[in-house]
Amino acid sequence: MKNILITGATSGIGLEIAHVLEKNNKIFLSGRRKLDKNNYFACDLADISSADELIQKAKEYFNSEIDVLINCAGQYIYKPIEQMTKQEVDYLLNLNFKSAYILSSLVVGGMKKNKWGRIINIGSISGMVGEGRATLYSATKAALSGLTKALALETAQDNITVNQINPGWVKTPLVDSALTEDEKQEVIDVTPQGRFIEPNEIAKLCEYLISDFAKGLTGQNINLCAGLSIGC
């Protein structure tokens, strides 16, 4: 049983990861919603100062170090680059990239001490191939990929693995409500497998990555995207 901290865990991908991993592990969750749970801390990680308190709350709940960190908190903004405000730039950089960097820096010491750890970053296929009108989002996820590879190299001798999952279009309530039926069909038409990724696929991949079966897998970007990364 591992002590697992999952950010962005109140909906969509993060919520499904929590459902899968709570069966055999002890989990602590964070998100922006207010929930009355003893294993939950409400915070907006776009405010980087909340990272220290989140780690403190998680360690108090576990009464131990954090074994696994899953950085799932993130936001998507779709608009032309010239319409992006400075506030949106700061917000997305903080939430999508800086929070994962800071949280990783706060847990890795305990992992090194225990000679075991797993960090999983939830990126996006947009960070791997680029997405027009989502330049900032793509850039933040590409930065996360760089963090993944560099930190994996830095911690390789300490039995710590760092990997990134890059989903394509995922079937979540948010995506379902954001797209029209025509737009959903367009996604299906340009995706080689002709379908959306299910959140459970990402959660089960996380389950594998934190297992000892994946101890040789580190510094990798895994494109779980139904073939989007290879063309259409």
> Could you list the active site residues?
137
Neighbours of 181 (CB within 10 A): 7
3-state secondary structure 35-57: CCCCCEEECCCCCCCHHHHHHHH
Nearest to 195 by CA among 222, 217, 171: 171
DSSP-assigned letters across all residues of 121-170 = EE--THHHH--TT-HHHHHHHHHHHHHHHHHHHHHGGGTEEEEEEEE-SB
